[in-house]
Each structure stands twice: as C-alpha cells, then as structure tokens.
A and B are shown apart, each in its own frame.
Chain A
Amino acid sequence: MTSMQKLLLAAVAASLAIAGPVSAQNVAREDTVIFDLDRTIQDPENFNWMTDGTGIRRMQGAHQVMWEPLFILNYNTGALDPWLSTGFEANDDLSAFTITLREGVTWSDGEAFDADDVVFTVNMALENEELNAREVATLRGQVAGVEKVDDLTVRFTLNAPNPRFVVENFGVRIFGSFLIMPEHIWSAAENPATFTFNPPIGTGPYTFTSAASNRAIWDRNEGWWGAQTGFADLPEPLRVVFLESGGEESRAQLMATDQLDAAQNLSVGTFEAIQAQNANVIAWHADYPYAVADPCARQLEINTTIAPWDNPNMRKAVALIIDRTQIVNIAAEGATTPSSTMFAQYGSMSPFIDAVVEAGYGLPASADVAAGQALIEAAGWVRNGDYYERDGETLSAEIHVNSASTEYTRTIDMVVEQLQRAGIDARSVPVENSVFWGEVLPFGAYEMSYSWLSCGSVNEPWASMGRYTVQDVVPVGERSPGFNNTARWNSPAAEAYSEVVNAMSSLPLGDPQIPAMVADAYQHLDAEMPFIPLVQAYKLMPFNTTYWTGWPSNDSYYNHPFFHWNSGHQIIHNLTRAN
C-alpha cells in the first residue's frame, strides 16, 4: 500500500468516524439499540417537556427510557398496566381519584419518588398557565385540587366527574402522559416555564448522556429501582440512541444496512425494497399491507372562521368532493382504509361507529363531486374555466401540511388534486414540523390543514368528541387549549353538539345510553363539518432483528409498536440480544 493510499484510507476512516451516526465510544453496537427520530431536536439542551407543544423534548428518548409513566394503556388487553403506580380508586360519582404509588421507586440520583413529587408537579401545572404542553393543559382543565394522603398515596379532586381521568392523564393513552417531575430539583426553579431541567433526571432504567440536534444518547443505570425491587429486570441494551434519520430514503438505507433498529413510518414500496435487501427487517404484519393503525385517524382540519369556509355548506362541499378510496389507493398504497366517522376503527369503538352510521351520518368511501359542486354553486359561485369565481374572486384553499413525512404531503397532494379537478384552486403549503405544531395549528393560522386533532378515543367516544366543544373556542391568534377545537367551531349547532357531549362526559364507561347520544351529537358534526375525516392512520414502522429481537408485532402483541410514545419503556424491556 502506498503512502498515498494509506492517507486516503485514513481520511475515509476519519470522515466516517466523524459522520458516523453514533459516537459509539466504548459501547459495542451489539449492546446498543438505535431508534429513529423523525424530527430535529430544536433545543437539545432543554428538557422542560411542560412548555413543549411539539413533543420533541420527550420523544428524543426522555419519555421512553428516562421518565416513566404511572400506567401504560395496553392496546391489546384494554387494561392499564401499572408502572410507577400500583392502582387507583374512584369515589362513587367519579369526581375524586386516589392513586397509589409503587414502593421503592427512586430517582436516578437516589432520592425517593413519592407523593410529594406528584403533588408538587400537579400543583405546578395548575398554577402556571404558561406550561402549555397538551397533557398539562388537559390536567389543568380537569383537576380542582390534589393532596398527599401518605407517602405513597395521592388524592385528586376533579372539577367534574370524569370516568376516564386516570387513563387520560396518567395512562399513556395517546403518545404521552402527565409526567411526574422530581420536586427536589424543580422546586429550585424560579420560573417553571423557563426552567430547562438540564441535566435531566428520571426514575427510568437509563440516564441522559448527551444530545445534539440530531441525536440523543442514553446509558443504562445499573442502580435502577425496578431491578432492585423485583419490578422488572434491567433491560438488555446498555445504550439507547435516538437518531434523526432524515427523509424516507436515508431512513430506508440506514435500516437496510443495520444502522437503525427501529424506523419511523415508511411507505409500503420502500418497506418492500428494504426487505428485499435485508430479510431481518420486519413490520407489524408479516404480509401486505404490513402497517398498523394508530388511534389518530387522519382528517382535514378547517378553520371555520375564514370565509368562504365559515359556511357549513362549503365545508360539506369539500367533504363530498374528497375521494377517500383514491387517497387509500394512491397516497397510502392500500395500507389503510377510508374513515367513515371521526373515530379510529378499532373493535372497541364499533358500537359508537355503528350508531353513527346507522343514523345516516357515516361518510362515503368515494366522492360525489356533482353534489359538492351543487353546494358550491348554491353559495353563489360560478365556474369560470378551471375554477369557481364569485364577485371576481377565485375560490381557493390553502392547505397547511407538516413536511415531516411523505404520508402527510402525499395525502394532501391527492386532496389538492381532487379539489383542483372540482374547481377549487387548492394548494398545499408545506411547513416545518415545529412551525406546524407550534405556530400554525394552535393559533388557527391556517385555512385548512392535514392532521388528526380528533384523536383521543380508543374505547369510549368522549375523548375525541370532547375536543370540539364550544368551551374550547378561542379567537384566532390565541392558543387553543390542548389543540382542542382549533377549528374554532362556534355556532348554534356547535352549542347543541357541546350540550350532548358534555352530558355524555360524566357517564360511566359502557353506559348503554352512550351510543345513542353519540349519534345524536354527530348529526351536528355531519351538518356543519368543522373537520373532514379522511382515512384511518397507518403506521408502517419497521423493526430490525439483526441485533435485537422481541419487537412488538401482531403475533407478539404485548402492546402497540409506537416506540416514540411514552409506552416505549415496554418495548425496551422486551428486547433481547439476537444471536
């Protein structure tokens, strides 16, 4: 080898070491599990999850490996798997809950985790309006007061009866849960809204090692409370890395070359291409369409304060023009199904979906463009060439879409096409993830957008329906509480709707009146369409079995595969080293 070749080789090796996805230092690849992150960590030094509307200060690993939830909702059994808590009790009218904490839990610095931490964190949430994460806003809206009964018992008093209180706030029903913070550290913060909580600590089996805008590294805490108390063994991976992979192409390449163990959403074609190169890569279902539905059905959000979309008939026209089957076939490559209502089409939701469909408010799978155009024409618009016009103004619609995933942009490209062909000058406005969640959606700074803001219901209807009541209406430019009713739907029909939904909120789960009430309330949604349900969510999240096995799948359904959720703890504990 000539010296020139050596030099080149050294240069290549050095650049690989610099550009390599993970600085492995002294942990072997076999002991490291690498998860995909589908967005940039905007502020990697900040661990204050309570002021983060986008979720990135948690999903970079913090709430999967460091901060543990009280319970985790098991999507398979429907039960709440206890974690930091061992159970709860409610009073008779479901307006007060007593939660029991697990004994022997400690923070990673050795301090005990107890009722003081819970009471402190909840009070902090109640007293500080600037803490605006969705979970904090939800809790603040429900809880009247909290008190410590003893070191391991906390009692919550609610503003109104709520049978879902625990699962909604502490059960990781969707994405996150209200995370308890260590009092002995946060109490020193002058202002909880500006506190960055760096270095962060938690009760989980991993501690924070380092973070940059494209990755976060967590190392195993050998003194984790769970192993010492017999709650669970230490997880096998010595190191957990969350790595921003970039777009679909680089994500796929990393997966095919074993540089990633779990990837975020990919399209069907890309997944099949990865499998052709790397047989160790699996998905939820072994066969087409591979994907699993998460509970956040996709929909077109509409700002009901902006003309001409403040007219319910115009919104209905858009709903009629949209062809859901085409979205399924083209944008989703057949990996999902059209939505017939706002709800996730889970078996547990079928009584409510059936009630809506039987009452005649279900959405069709295909379009009725002529009927939609008739509604537009009835509103005074006249087709002139390609587009409708009225008083010299062209009928147009801007649809804001989060550019973080091809699923979003591709679906909206399809919707734009359908609206264009029907005579509406629609166009998509792609915006960056943090802008989308931080600026566009909560403040109503959009005409239409693609999202899943009726997400919430998994086994009862209120969590989704309760998000569109008139109580949550705020003017455009103010932050919608917990992303609720960002449509700003506020009309007599909305009031009638809210009345029914509010009456439903305090009924115990499984009450036989509920399906009929759902159908009753749904007539107003059907008549005014403050948002338009499109298709069911579809997540094709590939796992790589080259280094780690024990991933969740339809055959091994210990819980859903959404590793970016607070339930990621369960996945990490289930991983075993591949041979």
Chain B
Amino acid sequence: MTEPNAAAPETAAPDATGLSKRQVRRMKRFDNPWRNPKLIWGVGLLLGIIALGLLGRIFWDTDMVFTGSGLPRQAPVGIENMRGQVGSWAHPLGTDVTGKDILALLIVGAPNSLYVGVLASLIGMSIGIFLGFSAGFIGGRIDDVIRVGSDVMITIPPLLILVVFQAAYGDISLTIMAILIACFVWQSPTRLIRAQVLSMRESGYVQMARLSGASTGHIMFREMLPNLVPYLFGSFIANVTTSIVTAVGLEVLGLGPQRVPTLGRVIYDAINSGALIQNLWWWWGVPTLLLAVMFIGLLLINLGLDEVSNPRLRRL
C-alpha cells in the first residue's frame, strides 16, 4: 500500500517549509490517514443517530410511536401551538395530529432509515464486488454479459420501478424494502470495480501471483481486494446515501412499511395531514433535520475516505 510513503517526503523536512505548529500537528496525523477530521466528524454524526436509537430505547417509551399515545398537536417543550397550549416534557418534541410522540418516532425511525440504507448498500456492494471482479479479471463473455447488464440497469430509474412494485404489493417490511433497493444499487460499484480491476490486473504483484500458480479466487479476493478497500468504502458510503434517498423517497410517497416508523413515513404523514398549513413545524422539521444530519455525516465520511485513498486531497 502506498499511502504512508506518499506523505513521507513532506514530513521529512517540516522546518524548512515554515509550517505553523498546527499544520505540523495535522501533518503528523497523516501518519494514519484514517484519522482525518472529516471522517471523524462524519462517523460521529452517524454514531450520534445510532446512539439516539439505542439510548432512546432505554430512556424513552418507544410504544408512544403508535396512534393515540398523547394529546394531538402538542408543540415541543415551552412552545405554544395554534390552540395556545404550551408543550410539556411529556412530549419534548411535541406530537402529531393523532397523538404520536415525535421523539419516540425519531428514536425508532432514524435508525430504521439508516438500517435500510446500510442493508441495501451492503447487499448491493456484495453483488457489485463479485460481478465487478468477475468481469474485470475473467473478461471475455462473462465481462460482456456483466458489462451490458449493468449498463442497461443503470439507465432504469429505480424509483419508477419501486413505486410500481410497492404500490402493487402494499405493506412491506424494512428488510424487503432494503432488498428491493439493493436491486438498483449494484450497477455503479460493478462498473467502478471492473475498471479498477482491469488496470490492476496488469500490475506486477498480480502477474507474480499468477505466475506462482495462485487460483483466480485467490488473486481476486486475497491479492487485489485489500488494495481496493478505501475505494470500496467510499463506494459503499455513496451507496448508503443513494439507498436512503431512495427509501425516503418511497416513504414520503406513502409507499414504505405502514406501521414501522421511518423518517420518510413521518414526513409523509405530516404532508398528508396538512402540517404545513397548520404550522406543526416540529412534525416535519425535526425529522428533516435528522435526515440532513444523516446525509451530512455520510458526505463527510465519503470526503474523509477520499482523503484516505487519494493523498493529494489531504490539505494542511
């Protein structure tokens, strides 16, 4: 692996370049490229959402996600709603029009949304890795079939198919939804990995492995795969983002699971019940904010991973 060496010439003569202490400190951090601030912040934000789900389940009554758990239309703590009622600690983030507790919805919903994204992306990536390596390394007919297949699939807008599918089948579980989305997120990793593998196939260590009689599987997954790890991570995170966007898109159209809270579902209910005109901002605003946090976290991780795999991006 080349990363530590790439940073070496610069660290060799820190004084000569006239860098400040802070820059020197940051420079040293590049000894371990995984410890860059973007990555740390991104992971922190996502861990925050996971922590919300875990701690929330311990300290808050998640049964309040169901209809009729409290008085409807309560504002968050200390804020008045349209009827002049002041929100209380019983529902710190307020309630929706059917009395569901918004905090409980977020505690259950946010990790659910993340779960769909991660699961869909995991499945999609696994397919992508397998197909990408096969196409790039084995080549020939197999390459043709996989390449054409993924090129065709990449032109199909996933939301269109998923909307039709879910409208036809109605209520589905989170896992089924993730699997469905996974059917549409394997193409780009397949293409990217194939391209990487094609260039890597000709490199010295692969040739050497081949000459020493290593099996195709061994070369693909033991020799080449580790070199692609940062790259795969980046692709994985991008896929998580795509999957969450797709899932939330479906949920906001009212097509996700019915009784399982997700952030998209909360927003759908809010839109569908006239939350905007009734000024129930906490109902759609808080889940939107949480989605924004989730996406910013994913973006930061992606940028951070870019720095890991591409040393030129590292700035002082």
Contact = CB atoms under 8 A, between A and B. Distances in A.
Interface of A: 247-249, 251-253, 256, 266-267, 269-270, 272-274, 276-277, 326, 330-331, 333, 403, 406, 409-410, 413-414, 416-417, 420, 427-432
B72 A428 contact: no
A430 B170 contact: yes
Contacts of B73: 269
A273 B170 contact: no
Contacts of B170: 429-431
Nearest to A272: B82
Interface in B244-303: 254, 258-259, 271-279
Contacts of B67: 330-331, 410, 413-414, 416-417
B97 interface: yes
Contacts of A277: 277
A461 to B, nearest CB: 34
Given A248-B272, A269-B97, A276 B72 contact: no
Contacts of B273: 248-249, 267, 269-270, 406, 410
B276 A249 contact: yes
B8 interface: no
A267 B277 contact: no
Contacts of B233: none
B85 interface: no
Contact of A406 (B66, B272, B277): B272
Nearest to A270: B274
A429 B167 contact: no
Nearest to B279: A273
A218 to B, nearest CB: 29
A431 B276 CA distance: 25
B277 A252 contact: yes
B175 interface: no
B72 A330 contact: yes
Contacts of B278: 269-270, 272-273
B171 A273 contact: no
B68 interface: yes
Contact of B68 (A269, A272, A326, A429): A326
B99 interface: yes
A406 B274 CA distance: 10
A204 to B, nearest CB: 33
Nearest to B66: A417
A488 B104 CA distance: 41
A330 B68 contact: yes
A294 B271 CA distance: 26
B23 interface: no
11 contacts: A249-B274, A269-B73, A269-B82, A272-B82, A273-B274, A330-B99, A331-B98, A413-B67, A428-B171, A429-B170, A429-B171
Contacts of B254: 403, 430
What is the interface of chain B mostly: helix, strand, loop, or mixed? loop
Interface of B: 66-68, 72-73, 82, 97-99, 167, 170-171, 254, 258-259, 271-279
A432 B255 CA distance: 11
Contacts of A273: 82, 274, 277-279
A427 B66 contact: no
Given A249-B277, A417-B66, A330 B271 contact: no
A249 B270 CA distance: 9
A410 B258 contact: no
B141 to A, nearest CB: 44
B274 A432 contact: no
B72, B73, B97: residue with the most chain A Cβ atoms closer than 10 Å: B97
User: Closest 6 CB pairs between A and B?
Assistant: A270-B274, A273-B278, A252-B277, A248-B274, A429-B170, A417-B67
A330 B274 contact: no
A269 B82 CA distance: 9
Nearest to B270: A249
Contacts of B272: 247-249, 406, 409
B72 A333 contact: yes
* A330, A409, A431: residue with the most chain B Cβ atoms closer than 10 Å: A330
A267 B68 contact: no
Contacts of B97: 267, 269, 333, 410
A310 to B, nearest CB: 23
Contact of B271 (A247, A267, A276, A431): A247
Nearest to A274: B277
B121 to A, nearest CB: 27
A406 B272 CA distance: 7
Contacts of A331: 67, 98
Contacts of A427: 171, 258-259
Nearest to A410: B98
Given A256-B277, A417-B68, A430 B258 contact: yes
A333 B98 CA distance: 9
Contact of A249 (B66, B259, B275): B275
A403 B67 CA distance: 17
Contact of B98 (A251, A270, A403, A413): A413
Contacts of B66: 417, 420
Given A249-B272, A269-B97, A428 B277 contact: no
Contacts of A251: 274
